[in-house]
Structure 1
Amino acid sequence: MPALRLPRFSSFRAFEHPGYLPVWTGSLVSNIGTWMETLALGVYVTQVTGRAEWTGGVAALSYLPGLALSPLGGALADRFDRRMYLAAGAVGQMLLAGVLTVLAFTDNLSVPLVAVAAFLNGSISQLMGPAFNALLAELVPPEDLHSALSLSSAQFNLGRVIGPLLATVVLAAGGIAWALLINMLSFVAVLAALSRLRGAHSPSSFAIKGLWKVLWADIARGVEVARQDAGIRLMLVSTLIIAVLVAPFIGLVPVFAIRVFGQGASATSLLVTSQGAGAVMAAVAAGVVVDAFGRKRVLEGVMLALGPVAALYWLAPSLVLAAVGIFFLGASYMTCLTGIHTVCQTRAPVELRARISSLYGMVLNGGYALGVWLQGALADRVGVRFITVSSAVFFLALVLSLRLLRPRSFDATEA
């Protein structure tokens, strides 16, 4: 198939490289199914329990395994054929989605079972994430990596736009079981995309005996490289504070829609869709903006804006204004994390990209798990708006302190 030619718009340059488009398309189909399931289960848990702590806790269980499994996933991704590794993960997630579907169709679904499924699904996702990011880096040259990661974020958030809209229709027409069934079938698209690739990555040889010792050494090497590199180190610290203080807005959307605005699945869908639309817009424009202003200036600017934008979203007096606020919050959040991840990948040695990506994933997902549970628990006690706005203001204070105390701290992001 001839490569696409879009040389005038740098945000789309990754599509010029064979192999990237099938992976992008397969991932989009799968993410549409995933967001259908996410919205359906988030609304289910919030309505059944009536507590933000449960909603945040179940969301956290999807990301908590990243603390231990993301570094392991990075080491494994550098040791195995990444296509087969990702295919195995997709099959595992399909089977898990199938179990949830059967439970829903037989009226045996419960909040504890949803929590267990969230933990297991999160475990698989954390093991697969570094391999997926490293695979993207194989499919494009270094100068188009920012485009590849931006477009990957775009498809993830495009799924966030389409999935909740479809979920709202499916929930109204057939109930939660049908939304879960569609998610199960969506993994076929990932398997089809992976079957079209020919691997460029040559897995490192190793013996089964002493495997854990080898993997531990691989993880330790990745940690040491991240610790010694000033740019990667700064990006990982930045990721942590974003994950704890800002990112919980994602998991708490059902709480905001149901408890603050007194609405249900349709309001949740509107907010999730608006966030995704903002992220897609930012992803499309990211390449052009970075080319015009430079990665350092864009990253500094968006980190300074992220706190105020988050606070304005949480202070919105109506659902319509909240949808506008989360649109800009989704755009700022996506731009910030894509820039951070790009810095980590471009500064990492090629043979360590999966391991550095795994550290990024560990920090992001572990921090998010802590933040979404903690903010959800505190929201039950002091109010949703108070705790979330306070977190956004605290994040802004930390970024301003870094900017004032270490004005040249972001210089390493350009190299």
Structure 2
Amino acid sequence: MPALRLSRISSLRAFGHPGYLPVWTGSLVSNIGTWMETVALGVYVTEVTGKAEWTGGVAALSYLPGLVLSPLGGALADRFDRRTYVAVATLGQMLLATMLTVLAFTHHLSVPLVAVTAFLNGCFNMLSGPAFSALLAELVPPEDLHSALSLSSAQFNLGRVIGPLLATLVLAVGGIAWALLINTLSFVAVLAALSRLRTAKDSRAFELKGLWKALWADIARGVEVARQDAGIRLMLSSTLVVAVLVAPFIGLVPVFAIRVFGQGASAASLLVTSQGAGAVVAAVGVGMLIDAFGRKRVQEGVMLALGPIAALYWLSPTLVTAAGGIFFLGASYMICLTGIHTICQSRAPRELRARMSSLYGMVLNAGYALGVWMQGALADRVGVRFITVSAAVFFLALMLSLRLLRPRSFDAIEA
């Protein structure tokens, strides 16, 4: 059987477990639609406002709710049936996508409305993200958790490859409204996959009385476990630095394509697609790297390489070299964050996995929101290349300092 043959490759083993492939496929379809919407709205905001600060600000609004809602989402996900919980959040996102589609077809779409919708969509993402990660962890045994999370990142980035290509075609033929409509319909794939999924029910009785007090106690317990575990503590600190200094390359793709290279939606789509392709290749190959060198050495190595790779991307003299640069940046970024997420989840007890995933999501999304807005605002004042290259160099300086001053710090992730 194909699933059995794939399962012999360490990076693809999760495909060999029942239930994982349908959820993976449904999520891929939805993410293709999401990336069509992301490219379409990013180009729309950049062309209407002409400001990198607006482009970065709207992107930041999708992640800003993570500061508060991600820990809450993790606590809720550890109390409700995760399959139902993710399905409800998906319906909420589908309603928001429907609203954007109607606004576009009726010619009432505007940048402020896009910003509000981005914020609300971010709320649903932050509340449901920890539950989805914990749901994936339930579908595979512990030894295949890294495979499950790597493949989840791969489908997200495969959507990043296909979605922008389709967005370019649809924007050229039908305009933004049709790209938004396709995204709305894509959520049906996730709902269909979840409807066929069967997972173990949580045996704990759920009580509404004292819910908020219990939720905050759950959040506090997750924070305390993360604080006491040296490996998780190091990974969450690393996530914050990556999110603020490196991750904004994602949200600033339209700015780079339009303001630096003087091109439009097709150039932005090329860069987003190249990043996704790099991440997909990395997702397939990272298991072999870990088998050969060990998780600690791979994680430490990629974090040292991430800054120089980001700087070379931002210094690209042409669009073609930028596409090559973001391919390698997307690959190293995927390996870095998937490794961090896997370490955080694998070091946490099963009943705390959603909460640990929520802490990771909170740090990543809040840091990204700050970083993409800050770098966008500074780019309007001192130039896109200067601020982004400076951030990449600063990240490298921090990683080298950690390596030189605390050479055994990464030992904690395997202790």
Give TM-score scaled by structure 2 length: 0.99
**Whole-Å separation in 2 of the counterparts to 1:95 and 1:25:** 21
Q: Report if aligned partners of 2:164, 2:273 keep a CA contact under 8 Å in 1.
A: yes
**Whole-Å separation in 2 of the counterparts to 1:95 and 1:372:** 27
Identity value in percent: 85
In the TM superposition, residue 6 of structure 1 has moved relative to its aligned partner by 2.6
**Whole-Å separation in 1 of the counterparts to 2:379 and 2:201:** 46
In the TM superposition, residue 3 of structure 1 has moved relative to its aligned partner by 5.2
Letter aligned with residue 257 of structure 2: A
SS of the residue corresponding to residue 202 of structure 2 reads: coil
Aligned pair in 2 of structure 1 residues 213, 9: CA closer, same or farther (>3 Å)? same
Within 5 Å, give how 1:336-347 maps onto structure 2.
Answer: 336-347=336-347
**Whole-Å separation in 1 of the counterparts to 2:397 and 2:3:** 46
Partner of 2:72: 72
Q: Report if aligned partners of 1:43, 1:264 keep a CA contact under 8 Å in 2.
A: yes
Partner of 1:313: 313
Aligned pair in 2 of structure 1 residues 72, 203: CA closer, same or farther (>3 Å)? farther
**Is the aligned partner of 1:333 residue 2:333?**
yes
Which consecutive unaligned segments of at least 5 residues does structure 1 have?
Answer: none
What is the aligned length? 415
Letter aligned with residue 342 of structure 1: T
Q: Report if aligned partners of 1:294, 1:414 keep a CA contact under 8 Å in 2.
A: no
Aligned pair in 2 of structure 1 residues 379, 138: CA closer, same or farther (>3 Å)? same
SS of the residue corresponding to residue 380 of structure 2 reads: helix
**Is the aligned partner of 1:196 residue 2:196?**
yes
* Deviation larger for 202-211 or 360-369: 202-211
Q: What is the root-mean-square deviation of aligned Cα atoms in Å?
A: 1.0
Partner of 1:384: 384
**Whole-Å separation in 1 of the counterparts to 2:236 and 2:165:** 34
Within 5 Å, give how 1:251-330 maps onto structure 2.
Answer: 251-330=251-330
Q: Report if aligned partners of 1:80, 1:204 keep a CA contact under 8 Å in 2.
A: no
In the TM superposition, residue 8 of structure 1 has moved relative to its aligned partner by 3.2
* Deviation larger for 4-13 or 186-195: 4-13
SS of the residue corresponding to residue 167 of structure 1 reads: helix
In the TM superposition, residue 209 of structure 1 has moved relative to its aligned partner by 1.6
Residues 233-274 of structure 1: per-residue CA shift (max 9 Å, x gap): 000000000000000000000000000000000000000000
Q: Report if aligned partners of 1:35, 1:164 keep a CA contact under 8 Å in 2.
A: yes
Partner of 2:250: 250
Letter aligned with residue 168 of structure 1: T
Residues 340-363 of structure 1: per-residue CA shift (max 9 Å, x gap): 001001000110000000000000
**Is the aligned partner of 1:414 residue 2:414?**
yes
Letter aligned with residue 152 of structure 1: S
Within 5 Å, give how 1:8-27 maps onto structure 2.
Answer: 8-27=8-27
Give TM-score scaled by structure 1 length: 0.99
**Whole-Å separation in 1 of the counterparts to 2:213 and 2:89:** 23
Which consecutive unaligned segments of at least 5 residues does structure 2 have?
Answer: none
* Deviation larger for 194-203 or 26-35: 194-203
Within 5 Å, give how 1:3-402 maps onto structure 2.
Answer: 4-202=4-202, 204-402=204-402
* Deviation larger for 199-208 or 241-250: 199-208
Letter aligned with residue 340 of structure 2: I
In the TM superposition, residue 53 of structure 1 has moved relative to its aligned partner by 0.1
Q: Report if aligned partners of 2:7, 2:15 keep a CA contact under 8 Å in 1.
A: no
Q: Report if aligned partners of 1:81, 1:203 keep a CA contact under 8 Å in 2.
A: no
**Whole-Å separation in 2 of the counterparts to 1:114 and 1:350:** 38
In the TM superposition, residue 204 of structure 1 has moved relative to its aligned partner by 3.3
In the TM superposition, residue 285 of structure 1 has moved relative to its aligned partner by 0.2
Aligned pair in 2 of structure 1 residues 229, 62: CA closer, same or farther (>3 Å)? same
Residues 201-232 of structure 1: per-residue CA shift (max 9 Å, x gap): 41632321211000000000000000000000
Letter aligned with residue 283 of structure 1: A
**Whole-Å separation in 2 of the counterparts to 1:335 and 1:2:** 25
Letter aligned with residue 153 of structure 1: S
Q: Report if aligned partners of 1:246, 1:392 keep a CA contact under 8 Å in 2.
A: yes
SS of the residue corresponding to residue 313 of structure 1 reads: helix
